[in-house]
């Protein structure tokens, strides 16, 4: 369950802040390891939900943002959240 939660938090961070770097995401997720975060980002990128932009500089700079596909998913997830709030008993 924790694994899926991380992916949702990553997506919501990218929705709210638009462009986020690795260490910023790590701060938002608090207890996540570098390896776990890296794996989640790779999975989200392979699912074409996020875009990874790497800058050729030292030290390396990498930024993540939502793809158009990811943005369309967030619209659906927001509607599910609204539905959940409206139907909470």
| pLDDT band (50, 70, 90) for residue 2 | low
Q: Over the stretch 37-54, which tens digit does the pLDDT of each residue have? A: 999 999 999 999 999 999
The strands making up 20-21's β-sheet, listed across from edge to edge, are: 20-21, 61-66, 50-55
pTM recorded for the entire structure: 0.79
pLDDT at 74 over 70: yes
Report residue 1's pLDDT band, with 50, 70 and 90 as the boundaries.
very low
Please report the domains of the chain, with CATH numbers, ordered by start residue: 2-86 (1.10.10.10)
* Predicted confidence (pLDDT) per residue in 12-36, tens digit: 889 888 899 998 888 888 888 889 8
Least confident of 4-18, 25-39, 56-70: 4-18
Using CA atoms, how far apart are residues 41 and 64, in angstroms rounded to an integer?
Answer: 9
């Amino acid at each position: 369950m924790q694994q899926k939660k991380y992916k949702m938090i990553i997506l919501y961070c990218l929705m709210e802040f638009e462009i986020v770097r690795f260490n910023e995401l790590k701060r938002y997720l608090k207890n996540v390891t570098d390896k776990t975060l890296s794996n989640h980002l790779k999975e989200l990128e392979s699912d074409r939900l996020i875009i990874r932009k790497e800058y050729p500089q030292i030290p390396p700079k990498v930024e993540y943002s939502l793809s158009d596909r990811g943005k369309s998913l967030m619209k659906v997830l927001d509607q599910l959240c609204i539905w959940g709030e409206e139907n909470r008993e």
